[in-house]
Structure formats: structure tokens, C-alpha cells
Structure 1
């Protein structure tokens, strides 16, 4: 299956499709890290335009991926990527790359010049994906700053 049948929609973080995918993401992270998944404080309103957006990918009408961005810092130039996830049904089909590009475009259109993110060493697929898409290691930041397993990345948009 190709990305020709892929549609990416901006939805509220609280939409049923968003909630379902984020729940699956947190379960995956929880299993990897023997934790709740991600304790970073997230408020659904942080993904409301113009200070953020949440995108859901649909493959043949089924939700298979998501990611959002929220403003980071005080200068209005930086955005943080959050809740990036591709369900098993969407993997190896270009969904993650399409969602990442859509998030980058959304953040850029909102005036952001840089996208940053946190992930961890037990997510080798994510680390490989981000580095393959032009993200470079940056100083750790955010909720998990100082944790030995955290890895932070950034990319100029």
C-alpha cells in the first residue's frame, strides 16, 4: 500500500481518533520503559492553533498515525514535537515521514523556525527515524532533562 491512500487531518487532541492513537503510544512507551509511558505534562489546549496543532493520518480511512507540535520557549520561534506515533497497520508505508513533514509544515506556517523533541534510548527506531530526517542531537531539555536515557533532537525548519 502506498501513501496515495493517506490523508492527514488536523484534529483536536481530544478527538476520539487522537485519543485512541495517543493511548496506544503511551502503552508502547510504558512497555518499553516499564512506566506510565510519558509523564511530561501535556494540556490538550497546547495543540490548539495558533500555538500548536495535532495531526492524525488516515490510511484508507483508518487512523494509523499522529503527531502534534506545541510552542516551546518564549520567542515564538521554537516548537516541540509531541506524541508522534505510527500504529502497526501504518508502519513501513511512509506514514511516519508524511506525518512528520505535515507537522513541520504546520509549525513553519505558524512562524516557528525550529522543531525540537525528546525521545529515549529504548526507542531505537525513533532515533534512527529522526536522524534520517535531518534531526541532530541537541542539549536535553524539558521534563526528562537530566535522565540518562533521554535523547533530545532538533531541526531547523
Structure 2
């Protein structure tokens, strides 16, 4: 197990996907994918997908050096959840009448005496 190190100064800053620090970190990440998997990630990513209000991107800085990144993007079709077995359920709760809300659910396996 590797030993961590103490960090004196950490800052997380919102950045556009086109920012040079983001580009540099993405390039380094792709190189790591090639090293580990033999090929870069070929998932489509359009810079605009990471812009508010439908997404966001941030860079983490350690002592003013860009060392981490992360982002999210809205996928209106719910494809991520559907790929994991979620399906449409009747609208419910506080957002039941909100036309922008997607209501998904997933059946859980029954508990039996052998798996409880």
C-alpha cells in the first residue's frame, strides 16, 4: 500500500472544458488509458456538454499545479441508468409535476434465507 502525502494547499476551480489545464490533464489521462488498456477512451465528449446549466467541469490544484479533474454532463435520455436495468416508473414526490424530471426505478432481488 502506498503512503499518502500531506497537501498544504488544495483548490478546486470550475473551468471550461477547453481550458489549457483541462486539455493537458485529459491528454495525460488518455495516455494512461493507452498504457493500461492499449487504446484511448473513445467515448464521445463534446466540450459544450460540460457547460452550465447542463454540465460542469473542474480542475483540482495542489499548490497551484493542476493535478486532478472531474466533470459531469446531463444525459437527458437516462441511458446511463437504463444500461444498468432502470426503467420508467410513475412520477412521484416533490418533482412529480416537473416536466424536466425523469422518474426511473429498478427491481431489487428478493431476499431469501440463503442471501439474507
Give the structure-2-normalised TM-score. Answer: 0.61
Q: Secondary structure at the match of 2:53?
A: coil
**In structure 2, C-alpha distance between the alignment counterparts of 1:27 and 1:67, rounded to whole Å:** 17
How far is 1:30 from its partner?
Answer: 1.2
Equivalent residue number for residue 46 of structure 1:
49
**In structure 2, C-alpha distance between the alignment counterparts of 1:65 and 1:46, rounded to whole Å:** 19
Equivalent residue number for residue 24 of structure 1:
28
Which of these two proteins has the greater Rg computed from alpha carbons?
2
How far is 1:31 from its partner?
Answer: 1.2
Equivalent residue number for residue 38 of structure 2:
34
Residue in structure 1 matching 2:18, options 14, 19, 22: 14
**In structure 2, C-alpha distance between the alignment counterparts of 1:49 and 1:73, rounded to whole Å:** 14
* Structure 1 portions without partners, runs of 5+: 81-115, 117-137, 141-157
The higher-RCO structure (CA 8 Å, 6+ apart) is 2
Equivalent residue number for residue 68 of structure 1:
71
Q: Higher helix share goes to which structure?
A: 1
Q: CA RMSD in A?
A: 2.4
Residues 7-42 of structure 1: CA deviation (Å, up to 9, x unaligned): 00000111000000000001001111111x100110
Give the structure-1-normalised TM-score. Answer: 0.46
Equivalent residue number for residue 139 of structure 1:
84
**In structure 2, C-alpha distance between the alignment counterparts of 1:18 and 1:40, rounded to whole Å:** 17
Q: Secondary structure at the match of 2:74?
A: strand
How far is 1:3 from its partner?
Answer: 4.7
